[in-house]
Amino acid sequence: MEAASHLKNLSADLERALAGLLKLVKALSFYPADHPSLLSTIGKTSSAFQTFLQNHKPAAYHVTQNGFRLDSTPVAPGNLQLQELALKLVERRVRHILFMPKMDQQDLLILAEELAAPLEQTLAAGGLAEQLKQQGLTSIVINETNLQAIFEQLGSPAGAVAEAFDIDPQQLLEKLPEEKPQPSTTEQMRELLEELKAPQSEVAFDKLLGKIRKTAEPFFNETRLTGQLAVFSLLESLHKDQTRSPRQRASANELSSALLTASCRKQLIDALANSDLKSSQRRLLVRLLINFGERIAPDMLQRLYAERDALIRRDYSAVLAKMGEKIFPLLKADLHHTTWHRVRNVVTILGESRLESALPLLAQVVDYPEPRVRRSVIRALAAIGGNQVIPFLIKLTEDADEDLHQPAIQALGGLRRSQAVPPLIDILMRKGPREKQHLLKIEVIRALAATRSPKAIIPLLKIARQRNLLNRKNIETLRAEAILAIGQLGNAKLIPLLEQLPKVEKDPAGRALKQATSQLLKHHVA
């Protein structure tokens, strides 16, 4: 009776965990890396696996196209999700799978990403087992049911393995080789990192850090990025762990800085430009780079300045921007550089920081000689937003380069601030060449609509009501734009005012009137 109850509980827990794994595989293929739905799925699946691993001894599950079996007993027979997951595993040359108690969320993500990868890619690499081996993953054992082989692979103490598998330790010891081979550098480092995760005395903690310091260089040479992410992420976690003593937290941070050599910094920075990097590794790498801050920012800036690929520059700029004010002194030093594209990169970072404290720095380059830099300033001001950027944008609407007037006007409207309405109205009153002023007025009208401010209603109505006795095309076009802008303001109380305007179906203004009225009615119903 007790055995039947245990099997039922095991089946239910495993079913939840595996069904969650399938959902995670699909979510990784569908959502971007930072989407809330993906992060939620990761959390739920990890929780389901932790419940399963804590409540049940490890066992090798047989995988067939029809599902999973423990010995001769089917697990959740008839569950279509488990059948779909089992088929994915079988296609990737998996016949048995075993989840070890030490499996964590990062290991789970690696497994899910490999399952989400194209089948042809996995088979070309030799199957799922080979790919997990290349990733250095030991918490998920594929196609191995022999206890001795598993023991040798994990390098765990015999008693711990015997306890995990619920068998007699003596039976296990009889099967094991008498002499254990010397562990590799990679194995030594993994053992050290596992020990470091557990609470330690100050003396034991210092000894572990000393061993890690000595092992790090050969370990990084063997494992490259995978090993660097493992070591630095753990040290970062220890530095932030409030349950650790202040001394241990400081020591972890000091070791992280010591291991962050010039060679290591270069490898981490170069890795961000690798388009083949797995999303789980990219998320971890980005987080580490941001936390390194000014320790790695100078190298990353130089790499950014030398990069020719716009997409890669965007990734570097995004990371640098998230470092925030602590790298502003570095950026300030390059603001007046004679190389214009270097200055443009700095302006982009300041804008992406979205910090109001970046405005004094941006103010220094509003008059920079190169127009492409000033165009980037407009984008940066628009990204930061707020009333404080309005004076700078107004100045740029009068820039010597007329090509900058339009983006500056659009940025004013995009602020969605009522304070931007008066300067936009002033721009309408400016004098200049008729054709250029006409195009500029169209942009101003659209910007007034973008503010979504009630203060824009009266100036837009004035334009919409403008008399056009000579039937001039430019006036009619402005009237049509103003009417459409009123429709975008979304105030249904404006419908009676629109109905008072002249209606000529074939004119641009007449068509705009019909469209704006319809738009306001829809907004009112919604």
121 exposed, middle or buried (CB, 10 Å; 0-12, 13-18, 19+)? exposed
Whether 321 shows a pLDDT value over 90: the answer reads: yes
Question: Residue 99: beta bridge partners?
Answer: 140
* Per-residue model confidence (pLDDT) at position 173: 45
The pLDDT of residue 505 is: 56
Which has the minimum average pLDDT: 108-122, 319-333, 390-404, 415-429?
108-122
252 close to 209: Cβ distance less than 8 angstroms: yes
CB 122 within 8 A of CB 287: no
Q: Which helix (H) or strand (E) holds 47?
A: helix 36-55
Lookup: tokens for 105: 């969320």
One-character DSSP codes across 377-389: HHHHHHHH-SGGG
Q: Report the alpha-carbon distance of residue 152 to residue 184 in Å, rounded.
A: 13
Least confident of 304-313, 322-331, 501-510: 501-510
Lowest mean pLDDT across 200-209, 268-277, 511-520: 511-520
Which of 33-37, 280-284, 431-435, 483-487 is predicted least confidently?
A: 431-435
Mean pLDDT value of segment 285-289 = 96
Give CA torsion, residues 320, 324, 327, 328, to 10 deg.
110
Per-residue pLDDT band for 177 (boundaries 50, 70, 90) equals very low
Instruction: Say yes or no to pLDDT of 172 above 50.
Output: no
The tens digit of pLDDT for each residue in 443-467 reads 999 999 999 999 999 999 898 888 8
- pLDDT, mean of residues 221-228: 93
Identify the residue with better confidence: 471 or 191: 191
Q: Could you give the CA distance from residue 410 to residue 382 in angstroms, rounded to a whole number?
A: 9
Cβ contact 325:355 at 8 Å: yes
What pLDDT score was predicted for residue 433? 73
pLDDT of residue 175: 45
Please state, in angstroms and rounded to a whole number, the distance separating the CA atoms of residues 523 and 326: 45
Residue with tokens 């690499």: 125
Dist CA 56 CA 43 (whole Å): 20
Residue 141 has a pLDDT of 87
Question: Helix 36-55 vs helix 2-30: angle between axes, to the nearest 10 degrees?
Answer: 160
Spatial strand order in the sheet of 61-64: 73-75, 67-70, 61-64, 96-99, 140-142
pLDDT in tens, 234-284: 999 999 999 999 999 999 999 999 999 999 999 999 999 999 999 999 999
* Per-domain boundaries in the chain: 1-165
Reply yes or no on whether the pLDDT at 518 is more than 70.
Answer: yes
Residues 6+ apart with CB under 8 A from 415: 382, 385, 386, 389, 390, 393, 451
CA distances from 57 to 1, 9, 150, 328 (A): 19, 12, 15, 53
Mean pLDDT (the chain) is: 87
Whole-number percent of the chain with pLDDT over 70: 90
Report CA-CA distances (Å) from 301 to 284, 334, 364, 497.
20, 10, 20, 55
Q: What confidence score (pLDDT) does residue 148 get? A: 55
Q: Is residue 182 predicted with pLDDT exceeding 90?
A: no
Q: Could you tell me which of 493, 429, 427 has the C-alpha nearest to residue 457?
A: 493
Distance CA 368, CA 453 (A): 32
pLDDT digits (tens, 9 = 90+) for 40-93: 888 899 999 899 888 888 888 888 888 888 877 888 888 888 888 988 898 888
Mean pLDDT of 411-434: 89
